[in-house]
């Protein structure tokens, strides 16, 4: 990012991410109420007929169970976790920190979600820019996060910010990546894990 030094995106553990994620983790990283809040945001912003891209996916996608999405594609780091995700039509194993370019054609999807993983991206704007390429005009991107992480793999800037700072940072990522109509939402259920969402939309061609 133009005004953030590269040191902000370093991690305590700079070993290859493939090594860190080589063993599957069939666990949830936020509590049930926070997961329900993620699902509610997808229900609110994803069209029911959307082709969905679940970026930084795992063994569960938190999508509304009743939504008849014609296609759900996952991109993640662990083959076993992705293979266990029954909502995925297909999946790709890819390390976005080494390859930001997504292996999909322009306009392949109508909605995208990144759930409790944005804090691990070392080149978030590059990833979000290419994500914008593979989405159709008007498509929503829903980025959700809490206050939990694997601290050795979260980028340093994330670890030095509070919840409000995280919301501002993700908003800045989306703005710099060219999304419009940005919305920052606090959907924390209360009494458990907090849950925040920042939503952006792919502009129409006339919007740039």
> What integer is the mean pLDDT of 139-161?
91
Residue 190 within any structural domain of the chain:
yes
- Predicted confidence at residue 13, as pLDDT, reads 85
- Predicted confidence at residue 21, as pLDDT, reads 78
- Residue 113 scores a pLDDT above 90: yes
Residue 25 within any structural domain of the chain:
no
CA–CA separation, 143 and 23 (whole Å): 25
Over the stretch 182-195, which tens digit does the pLDDT of each residue have?
A: 999 999 998 899 99
Q: Which residue has the higher pLDDT, 27 or 175?
A: 175
Q: How many domains does the chain have?
A: 1
CA dihedral 40, 33, 65, 128 (to 10 degrees): 60
**Helix ranges restricted to H, 27-140:** 32-45, 79-84, 124-134
Measuring CA to CA, which residue among 86, 81, 31 is closest to residue 56?
81
- Predicted confidence at residue 1, as pLDDT, reads 44
Residue 128 within any structural domain of the chain:
yes
- Residue 56 scores a pLDDT above 50: yes
CA–CA separation, 50 and 142 (whole Å): 13
Neighbouring residues of 184: CB distance < 8 A, sequence distance ≥ 6: 167, 170, 171, 196, 197, 198
Q: What is the mean pLDDT of the chain?
A: 93
CA–CA separation, 109 and 135 (whole Å): 5
Neighbouring residues of 165: CB distance < 8 A, sequence distance ≥ 6: none
Residue 179 within any structural domain of the chain:
yes
Residue 80 within any structural domain of the chain:
no
CA–CA separation, 75 and 116 (whole Å): 14
- Residue 155 scores a pLDDT above 90: yes
Is 88:108 a contact under the CB 8 Å cutoff?
no
User: Range of 159's domain?
Assistant: 6-20+30-51+100-207
The CA distances from residue 187 to 23, 40, 55, 190, 206, in Å, are: 31, 9, 21, 9, 32
Residue 36 within any structural domain of the chain:
yes
- Residue 2 scores a pLDDT above 70: no
Residue 180 within any structural domain of the chain:
yes
- Residue 3 scores a pLDDT above 50: yes
- Predicted confidence at residue 28, as pLDDT, reads 78
Confidence band of 27 (pLDDT split at 50, 70, 90): low
Residue 57 within any structural domain of the chain:
no
Q: Which CATH number covers residue 179?
A: 3.40.50
């Amino acid at each position: 990012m133009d005004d953030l030094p590269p040191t902000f995106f370093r991690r305590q553990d700079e070993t290859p991410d493939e090594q860190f994620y080589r063993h599957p983790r069939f666990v949830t990283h936020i509590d049930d109420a926070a997961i329900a809040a993620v699902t509610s945001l997808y229900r609110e912003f994803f069209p029911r007929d959307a082709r969905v891209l679940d970026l930084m996916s795992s063994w569960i996608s938190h999508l509304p169970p009743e939504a008849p999405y014609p296609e759900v594609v996952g991109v993640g780091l662990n083959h076993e976790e992705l293979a266990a995700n029954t909502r995925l039509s297909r999946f790709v194993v890819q390390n976005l920190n080494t390859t930001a370019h997504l292996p999909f054609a322009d306009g392949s999807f109508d909605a995208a979600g990144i759930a409790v993983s944005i804090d691990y991206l070392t080149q978030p704007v590059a990833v979000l820019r290419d994500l914008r390429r593979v989405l159709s005009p008007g498509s929503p991107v829903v980025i959700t996060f809490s206050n939990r992480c694997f601290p050795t793999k979260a980028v340093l800037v994330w670890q030095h910010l509070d919840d409000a700072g995280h919301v501002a940072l993700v908003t800045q990522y989306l703005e710099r990546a060219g999304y419009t109509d940005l919305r920052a939402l606090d959907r924390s259920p209360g009494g458990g894990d907090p849950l925040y969402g920042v939503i952006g939309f792919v502009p129409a061609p006339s919007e740039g």
